[in-house]
Amino acid sequence: MSVLPTIGPSLLFCPANRPARFEKALSAADAVIIDLEDAIAHDDDEKSSARETVREHLRSDPDKFFVRINGLDSPWYAADVDMLRDVGATKVVLPKVESAGQLLKTPDLTVIALCETVRGVVNSGEIAQAANCAALFFGAEDLTADLGGRSSRSPSGAYHSPIENARSQVLFAAKAAGKAAIDAVFLDIRDSEALEAESRFACDMGFAAKGCIHPDQVQPIRRAYAPSDEQITWARGLLDAVAVNGPGVFQYQGQMVDKPLYQHAHTIMTRTEN
């Protein structure tokens, strides 16, 4: 049920109470997540107003956007789900998922599950196996808060090891279930160089996409996910060599080539085509 490989690497969050930004965001990014959760004040009137804004915007094209709804433990979850069903929308981002059973409460919705609590990370393998789970989305900052930590990152900017380990666990869980994995948002909007480096690492490790919180973050993510000319030349040449030599083991540009390298080359060419 993965819906991500064809939409590109940048998933841009957009506040649900800013409808004028919805289409603009979609023209900038590969996909947009309209946010009813963190972007909206935890107030009944604010949540209701934002929900009605989303309802009206989705009526003409229900699955044009993803929608992050409020969590199951919130007083707004049921109304958010009812709104999605009312307009026929099916693409939902569910925050703070901690079990597969939480996804199965809405079997009619395709869910990107945010693994951003300790239980969510520990149970990520189970969550990814849910039939309506399209992807796991790692959330570093909420996870740090749930751990009782002060910061997800060291002064160098790298994740602290428990957060990096959790990031890997979510990636492994998604891949083991044949689902996509989405990397966490990068909070420093000004540091495009660090964002691009982190996105390149995410791409190299197999994350299908990366969340972002500002339009200026889209292009660094896209640059990171786009194969270089050297990578494309290598991959194309290797696949041509496989066509000549067959699928066995042989040498190519000084490397011993076998099935894992074929897969690397296929991944590069798939990203080139997308």
User: Annotated binding site: which residue ranges?
Assistant: 68, 116, 142
Q: Look up tokens 């309506």; give the residue.
A: 132
CA-to-CA distance for 100 and 130, rounded, in angstroms? Answer: 6
Task: Determine contact, residues 208/135, Cβ cutoff 8 Å.
Answer: yes
Instruction: Please give the structure tokens belonging to residue 194.
Output: 């660090």
Helix (H, G, I), strand (E, B) or coil at 267: helix
d(CA 172, CA 222): 23
H-type helices in 104-210, by residue range?
118-122, 124-128, 140-147, 161-176, 192-205
Tokens 């279930």 — which residue? Answer: 177
Binding site for Mg(2+): residue ranges?
Answer: 116, 142
Annotated binding site for substrate: 68, 116
